[in-house]
Amino acid sequence: MIHSRLYVGHLHCVLHAGVALGILLPQSVFHCGVLFEDSFYSPFKGQLELHEDVKIYIEENYEQINIPVPQFGGSDPADIIHDFQRGLTAYHDIALDKCYVIELNTTIVMPPRNLWELLANMKKGTYLPQTYIIQEEMIVTEHVNDMEQLGSFIYRLCSGKETYRLKRRTARRRINRREAGNCNHIHHFENTFVVETVICKKS
């Protein structure tokens, strides 16, 4: 289930590599940061800051995102791959050293070329008026035994790690206190809004 909360944020990105003489190269690396307020989960903390490194592979049609340990609590560091060829997303929760795989949600993840254009056009301190933080709730299902079926990009990320399939929670409801202890949160962005991915074990 996906639901959203209103916030006002500032997004800025620095392009480390990927353009030569105005020509788009096959791979680009951005370092991005976003300031946002989350009145639901952290009403007394004020603005939160999230950083990530985004690698965009235009020709291979995938994106790789690294989220270091956030400066705010309740969110795990992670590596994420959005593979548009396979139609899959993989989350490597670094704190747990486990991988989770689910169908790519193209309604909230921009394709590589579109994401490149968004980040390349961002200037430091760009104002994003009344945008949203999107929350996705997911449930861990079965263990993945055949890693090669996930494609070479996700295989490189998740090889040697416990890897599980996810399914999206279909009914919107509040996660109770007992369930919250079985859930891990990953904040990231690959659009004009922040996504909070909530991964829960079966209760």
d(CA 194, CA 143): 28
Residue 20 predicted with pLDDT over 50:
no
pLDDT in tens, 41-65: 555 556 777 889 999 999 999 999 9
Q: Provide the b/e sequence for 116-130 (b: ≥16 CB within 10 Å).
A: bebbeebeeeeebee
Residue 74 confidence (pLDDT): 78
Residue 120 confidence (pLDDT): 80
pLDDT in tens, 113-149: 999 888 887 755 555 555 678 889 999 999 999 999 9
Residue 96 confidence (pLDDT): 96
**Per-residue three-class SS string for 57-108:** ECCCCEEEEEECCCCCCCCCCEEEEEECCCCEEEEEECCCCEEEEEECCCCC
Closest by Cα among 155, 29, 25 to 81: 155
Give the residue with greater pLDDT, 132 vs 86: 86
Residue 176 predicted with pLDDT over 60:
no
Give the structural domain span for 124.
Answer: 2-200
> What letter would DSSP give residue 147?
G
Beta bridge partners of 102: 89
pLDDT band at 180 (very low <50, low <70, confident <90, very high): low
Helix (H, G, I), strand (E, B) or coil at 3: strand
Residue 133 confidence (pLDDT): 82
In the chain, the number of structural domains is 1
